[in-house]
Structure 1
Amino acid sequence: MSSQAALRPPRRSAVRRRFTALLASATLAFAGLTALAAPATALPPAPLAYVVNNGSNTVSVVDITTNTVTATVPVGDGPSGVTLTPDAAKAYVPNANANSVSVISTATNTVTATVAVGSSPFGAAATPDGSRVYVTNYLSNSVSVISTATDTVVATVPVGAQPVSIAAAPDGSRIYVGNSNSASVSVISTATNTVTGTAPADKPNGVAVSPDGSRLYVSGQNTSVTTVIDTATNTVVTTVPVGSFPFGVAVSPDGSRVYITNLSGNSVSVIDTATNTVTTTVPVGSSPIGVAAASDGSRVYVTNLDSNSVSVIDTATNTVTTTVPVGSSPQAVALTPIVAAPSAADIAVGVTAQPHLGILVPYLTYTLKANNTGPGAVGSATVTATLPNGATSTNLSAGCTVTGNKVTCAYGPIANGASVNKTFRVPLHLLTLGHVTVTGVRTASSPTDPNPANDTASATCTAISLILVTCP
């Protein structure tokens, strides 16, 4: 069967004409076919979407905080897919017409290497350890294995007819390859780079693996269903009817939802994985093909082949909240992880004093207050109080120690909005008459304290005599 017949959408469809034209020029993209990269170090400064524009031979870099294009990267001829290394340091873009893969440095958004692969490369997936990228070669019936350390091909794995989609198992042990012109998914062992099994699926377009690795979701171009496969046995669990000509597949980070782009239906089907049923269908742009879920699960990004745009779906409401204009014929999309801002907890230090007078043992009680004003919870903190020279301290609260004229108090967890007090006594004697000032300073805390302005406080008592003392 020809490549055009193998991937043909319904007759008399405008999408069919567009899709066939893309195949004729070897520029069809198979996007949304890779697992999301896992959060790691060396991340770009903002969460980004890398959108492959097949018609422009470019990649649009979208800041997904603002949903605006911040850079455009020229790549090879007919870019068709994209995957990110787990540390999000590199993006790998197969170029279908150039038989190559462009390697983009996400730090500079420039191409740093070009790797020659098989004929008409389409899909790409990085292993969870970031050591390799697997690329499907549509017309070579093979998968090229690229070492990310050297950006060279280290192995070539024969698979089924016209492989397009590809995804890595979360544990990195297997690679799943959708063979679009055969009724199968090839299972590659990453230990040996050989096919160790196959799973049945009718002319698969997209593949994605559940976060726990137990299920494989495969979109079928001829049957308008998504096939659910048990990865332990490589057998079909069930099939889920979806929209017309399903293509891209993405699984939510918690594994509760699967998102399927319906190329001829201009929509996205949302599957509940607990029941394996479609719970809603979201209208998007024209000819949606690629799909990726944000790492926090809040949004799904869909490339619209004939709208030159990306639809942003709010997963809480299953509605499109933003449409981002990008390059010509956007087909593949991959997202860098959304990294939560470092937690912070502001400790406001307070110092108060209370005189306790008597003929025998007059003393002042000082209270060191650690007040957590948020926004996060305090894990631990240390406040150090400095006494006047010659002053001593007694009756320290638990967690407080004394060294010379300094009292250091350690605080455990403090909830947002709560405070904890520590106390100690300063005995009065003839040498402490006059002003007795104690200054408390936050000297350490976790997490970060964002507001140093309230880290210090003082209280001064005036001792006129051992029986006449005033404190604020």
Structure 2
Amino acid sequence: MPTFRPALIVVASALLASTSLLLFAQQPYQIIDHWKVGGSGGWDYLLADSPSHLLFLTHGSRVEVLDTTTGKAVAAITGMKATHGVALDDSGKFGYISDGGNNSVVVFDRQTYKVVATVPAGTNPDGIVFEPATRTVWAFNGRSNNVTVLDAATNKVVSTLEVPGKPEFPVADDRGSVYDNIESRNELVRFDARTRKITATWSLTNCESPSGLAIDSQHRRLFAVCDGNKMAVVDADSGNQLASPEIGGRPDAASFSSTRQLAFSSNGIGTLTIIDAGDHYRVVQNLPTAVGARTMSYDELTDRAFLVTAQLGVAPAPTKENPHPRPTIVPDTFEVLEVGRKK
């Protein structure tokens, strides 16, 4: 009979454990739960705050705050006109809301959810991000083609910077650079947050109207989601485009998991595209979600993605002023889709 040496048994056990972990890591994502929020009005970006187990949803004139462990409402930040995005500082003290309807950035206390300041911005502030190296807040103004930069210590505007077209979603690399999609020119721009200047402008290929943007800060990769069913994978230092994997139609948000090396695209046609960022950017899953679920946030700690949508009615007739009208929203159907892995 063959004799098994202890060392071989240890190696075999290690390989078996690694295989089991790999198989677990490759389990597909699925919709785990639906959290009814209700109310009326449209929606835009959302943001998961992993350490606090909270989810911030922009919803019409308010921001809903939900507990991600229960799906229940915790609070609502109200008194705005048309909210778009939320950013959080790195101290746990303050949050920032882009109120596009009021052309302002609203600062709120993260313990009480009370508004503590309203700061004038450009026209229709949309994407917004906190930059930790300079402790500044960057609000990208979709109709005035510029960015309003706030000092988080004083809530004062310290710069207004021009951008070469209509800005979309921004990200920061935690090293002093801020990146933003320029939707109207199919470009990405990079800012030096310390000098507050554009340091690069990169054209994107096979990428029409880039909207959502995510970043892998460690491996220096950007993931821009685009019309035409493409994601542009871009080197964050050189601007070289590395890949253009296929995604679903009408995307609006991107996220990245540094632990699992996955990139996500939420698509308005009703899918969530998941891409293996460590394996030639291959698509590993297209999860059916719901029509209109085009914005998303990913929680790294729990490996959960959150998407929002509502039941949609009939779109109004196109006009010269609005050639692509959005469908009406059925009242009280707004909800969160919680996405995670099978266990």
Contact persistence 1:117–1:144 (CA under 8 A): no
- The equivalent of 1:226 in structure 2 is 188
Distance 1:70 1:173, change over 3 A: same
- The equivalent of 2:43 in structure 1 is 79
Among 203, 211, 223, the alignment partner of 2:166 is 203
Q: Provide TM-score, normalisation by structure 2.
A: 0.75
Matched length = 273
Contact persistence 1:95–1:121 (CA under 8 A): yes
- The equivalent of 1:265 in structure 2 is 228
- Letter of the 1:284 counterpart: I
Which runs of at least 4 in structure 1 moved beyond 3 Å after TM superposition?
A: 63-66
Are 1:311 and 2:273 an aligned pair? yes
Deviation at 1:79, TM superposition (A): 2.5
- Cα distance in structure 1, aligned partners of 2:66 and 2:173: 27
Structure whose CA Rg is larger = 1
- The equivalent of 2:7 in structure 1 is none
- The equivalent of 1:157 in structure 2 is 119
Q: Provide TM-score, normalisation by structure 1.
A: 0.55
- Cα distance in structure 1, aligned partners of 2:129 and 2:228: 24
- The equivalent of 1:95 in structure 2 is 59
Are 1:251 and 2:251 an aligned pair? no
Among 238, 242, 267, the alignment partner of 1:279 is 242
Kindly, what percent of the aligned residue pairs are identical?
A: 21
Are 1:176 and 2:138 an aligned pair? yes
Gaps of 5+ in 2: 1-24, 304-343
Deviation at 1:203, TM superposition (A): 1.8
Aligned residue for 1:160, secondary structure, equals coil
Deviation at 1:255, TM superposition (A): 5.1
Are 1:189 and 2:151 an aligned pair? yes
- Cα distance in structure 2, aligned partners of 1:281 and 1:312: 13
Residue by residue over 1:194-247, the C-alpha shift from the partner in whole angstroms, topping out at 9 and shown as x without a partner, is 2111232122111111131x2111111211101111111111111111111011
Aligned residue for 1:129, secondary structure, equals coil
Deviation at 1:119, TM superposition (A): 1.1
Residue by residue over 1:284-308, the C-alpha shift from the partner in whole angstroms, topping out at 9 and shown as x without a partner, is 0001110011132510111101x21
Contact persistence 1:101–1:117 (CA under 8 A): no
- Cα distance in structure 2, aligned partners of 1:111 and 1:245: 34
- Letter of the 1:326 counterpart: T
- The equivalent of 2:334 in structure 1 is none
- Cα distance in structure 1, aligned partners of 2:233 and 2:52: 27
Aligned residue for 1:330, secondary structure, equals coil
- Cα distance in structure 1, aligned partners of 2:194 and 2:91: 22
RMSD (Å), alpha carbons: 2.0
Aligned residue for 1:232, secondary structure, equals coil
Distance 1:275 1:171, change over 3 A: closer
- Letter of the 1:193 counterpart: N
Distance 1:331 1:129, change over 3 A: farther
- The equivalent of 2:255 in structure 1 is 292
Distance 1:111 1:251, change over 3 A: same
Gaps of 5+ in 1: 1-62, 341-472
Aligned residue for 1:254, secondary structure, equals coil
Contact persistence 2:94–2:109 (CA under 8 A): yes
- Letter of the 1:223 counterpart: R
Contact persistence 2:270–2:294 (CA under 8 A): no
